[in-house]
Amino acid sequence: AFATEASPDGRAHAARYDATPADARPVDIGAWSYRVDTSAPDEPVVFFFYDNWSSVIYTTGTTGAPKGVMLSHRNL
């Protein structure tokens, strides 16, 4: 952490938060990757193009009638 470079007090403060708790258990990421790779996604994959509309904002123009302004993904 950047706090370790600040001062001796910063190093002591960072060391206190970097300590591993006594009841911590290691996690084998390799064992979980099989479950992640074989599970079905919760939502379907959505493809979009930058010029597709992402939202419409209605403005209150000075002419009285609200107008819809289409925002594309590129605009965001």
pLDDT of the chain, 76 residues: tens digit per residue: 334 444 555 555 555 555 666 777 777 767 666 666 565 667 677 777 888 888 888 887 677 777 888 888 888 7
Give strand pairing partners of 67. Answer: 59
The pTM (predicted TM-score) of the whole model is 0.34
Same domain, 31 and 52: no
C-alpha span between 15 and 12 (Å, rounded): 5
Same domain, 53 and 71: yes
The distance in angstroms from the start CA to the end CA of the chain is 32
C-alpha span between 70 and 18 (Å, rounded): 48
For residue 6, the enclosing domain spans 1-39
Dihedral angle over CA of 12, 16, 17, 20, nearest 10: 140
Same domain, 6 and 33: yes
Same domain, 1 and 34: yes
C-alpha span between 16 and 31 (Å, rounded): 30
